[in-house]
Amino acid sequence: MDKIPKEIQIIIKKLKKGGFEAYVVGGPVRDFLLGKMPKDWDITTNAKPEEIQKIFPNNFCNNIFGTVTVVDKNTKNDNLNNIEITTYRIDVGYSDKRHPDKIQFTSKLEEDLARRDFTINAMALKITNYELIDLFGGKEDLKNKIIKAVGDSDERFTEDALRMLRAVRFSSQLGFEIEKNTFRAIQKNSELLKFVSQERICDEFEKIILSDRAYEGVELLRKLKLLKYVVPELEYGIGVSQNRHHIYTIYEHCVLSLKHCPSKKLEVRLASLFHDIAKPQTKAGTGPDSTFYNHDFVGAKFAKKILTRLKFSNKIIEKVSLLVKNHMFYYNVDEVSEAGVRRLIKRTGKENLKDLMDLRIADRLGSGVPKAKPYKLRHLEYLIEKVSKDPISAKMLKVNGQDIMKILNAKPGPKIGAILKVLLSEVIEDPKKNTKEYLEKRVKELNKLSEEEIKKSEKIIEEKKEEEDLKDKKKFWVK
């Protein structure tokens, strides 16, 4: 990034022509100085919202804060579709610890910069001569990789508690340290995070989790005493030991799994962090023989509760809880049967298997196991490929509901569904049974039973399989 985009230059020139001052400000100045392409471009000016709107007819205006967004439909660059222009302002009063009670326009750029959160975010750039307006040492802090509050840090966090999370977010995105006084002020005011809405907490938490230093970010939340207002459930695992198979405590293992997660996907990263979230509650026994039965199922529920509270989307919530629920899947070359792999696919869905394997890699590396056992995983991938053409859903059976009704000359009803389930269970065990002849024969046999009995026989097969899977699981993981 060595040049200001033409689109921004045009806007600033137009404002100047109208007799106003105009600067690039905040995030884009920081990113520009770091040599990075800014995500969005913000401009600040002494022009009032109505005056800005007059100059740019193609705009929409946020009335509460008077931000005018200029829409540029011709640009090829997505970052430049919507450019936000704000009038120099000061914030007045923060009675809810989050939002200013009101904003007041000012004619002084200096006052606008002073209301901003961190020194690296409080610089303005004059684009005609690339003069930097840097009143708080932002450039120096950028050079030294430091996040430092503008002015009195204690005051800044009591005004707006969200800034504390923003500090952690910038630290983990940029790999910067939080300056000593700013650090202390956050620790002191951490409790104020209670006043911040879950949606805003979620936005920042998501950015931390998606950053290159997600692990450092979560650790920083803990050190700053903020974690208990974001995900207190993680703290229950602090200092709680596991068993002979683990060198790390539950909390350490959770954050290290996040650190080693090979996926950049939010869902997989969250699942890495939360896969053992229920271990403190499911722990039985002490010392090297402790067990954690059902922590996968209970953990899926906990993850759902946490992510719902944080207002993540349903899609993310469902995916994370599915991954957590199934993270104990068993695979060992020579031991895992093809039927076992078919059951795994049926349980989790083929589209989720890659993510489930990434979660396993995160889990293993986060346990301090030196390698992610690529050979075993590759073998499982091979088996998945091999069996994925086998029937794993009712749709893939050679006999469908319609056929069954025809064979039995029966109407639709629960009995038909129950028969289908038994057929599928049998075929997953042995795909060779997926022939019209065999299935038709079984339909007639099963029809002699009552609906109750059919359901029971399906349950018997399912239970037997679950028992087998569980046996495998214990053998392998002994968690």
Task: Return residues touching ligand ATP (CB under 6 A).
Answer: 26-27, 39-40, 42, 116-117, 121-122, 160, 162-163
Select the binding partner of residue 160 from ligand ATP, Mg ion, none (C-beta < 5 to 8 A, by kind).
ligand ATP
Q: Which does 162 bind (CB under 5 to 8 A by kind): Mg ion, ligand ATP, none?
A: ligand ATP
Nearer to Mg ion, 29 or 303 (CB): 29
- The partner in contact with residue 121, picked from ligand ATP, Mg ion, none with C-beta cut-offs of 5 to 8 angstroms by kind, is ligand ATP
Distance of alpha carbon 132 from alpha carbon 126, whole angstroms: 6
Within a 13 Å sphere around the CA of 405, how many CA atoms are in the beta-carbon half?
9
25 or 399: CB nearest Mg ion: 25
Nearer to Mg ion, 24 or 256 (CB): 24
Q: How far is the CB of 171 from Mg ion (least distance, A)?
A: 16
DSSP state of 79: G
Type and span of the H or E element at 280? helix 279-282
Q: 3-class SS at 230?
A: helix
Kindly report the backbone phi and psi dihedral angles of residue 475, in degrees, each rounded to the nearest multiple of 5, phi listed first.
Answer: -55, -45
Stretch of 20-28, 215-223, 238-246, 428-436 lying at the interface with Mg ion (CB under 5 A): 20-28
Q: Which long-range contacts (CB under 8 A, 24 or more apart) does 55-60 make?
A: 55/14, 55/15, 55/18, 56/11, 56/14, 56/85
84 binds Mg ion (CB under 5 A): no
Minimum CB–partner distance for residue 203 and Mg ion (Å): 12
Q: Quick one: tokens of 11?
A: 């806007």
Distance in angstroms (rounded) separating the CA atoms of residues 43 and 24: 5
Q: Strands (DSSP E) along 134-220, which ranges?
A: 146-147, 177-178
Residue 472 interacting partner from Mg ion, ligand ATP, none (CB closer than 5 to 8 Å by kind):
none
The CA distances from residue 34 to 3, 28, 39, 108, 349, in Å, are: 12, 10, 13, 26, 43
* Interacting residues of 464 by C-beta distance below 8 A, sequence separation 6+: none
Of the pair 123, 278, the CB lying nearest ligand ATP is at 123
Q: Which is nearer to Mg ion, 40 or 468 (CB)?
A: 40
Binding status of residue 27 toward Mg ion by CB under 5 A:
yes
Q: Least distance from C-beta 251 to Mg ion, angstroms?
A: 33
CA distance 129 to 79: 23
Residue 89 interacting entry, from ligand ATP, Mg ion, none, C-beta within 5 to 8 Å by type = none
203 touching Mg ion, by CB under 5 A: no
In the shown chain, the binding pattern of residues 40 to 79 toward Mg ion, with x for contact by CB under 5 A and - for none, equals: x---------------------------------------
**Minimum distance of ligand ATP from residue 469's CB (angstroms):** 44
| 116 touches, from ligand ATP, Mg ion, none (C-beta below 5 to 8 Å by class) | ligand ATP
Q: Which residue is nearest to ligand ATP (CB)?
A: 27
103 burial class (0-12, 13-18, 19+ CB within 10 angstroms)?
middle
Stretch that binds Mg ion, among 27-35, 59-67, 243-251, 383-391 (CB under 5 A): 27-35
Least Cβ distance, residue 173 to ligand ATP (angstroms): 7
Work out how close the CB of 138 gets to Mg ion at its nearest, in angstroms, rounded to a whole number.
Answer: 15
177 binds, among ligand ATP, Mg ion, none (CB under 5 to 8 A by kind): none
Which helix or strand (DSSP H or E) is residue 6 part of? helix 6-17
CB-based contact 479:328 (threshold 8 Å): yes
Return residues touching Mg ion (CB under 5 A).
27, 40
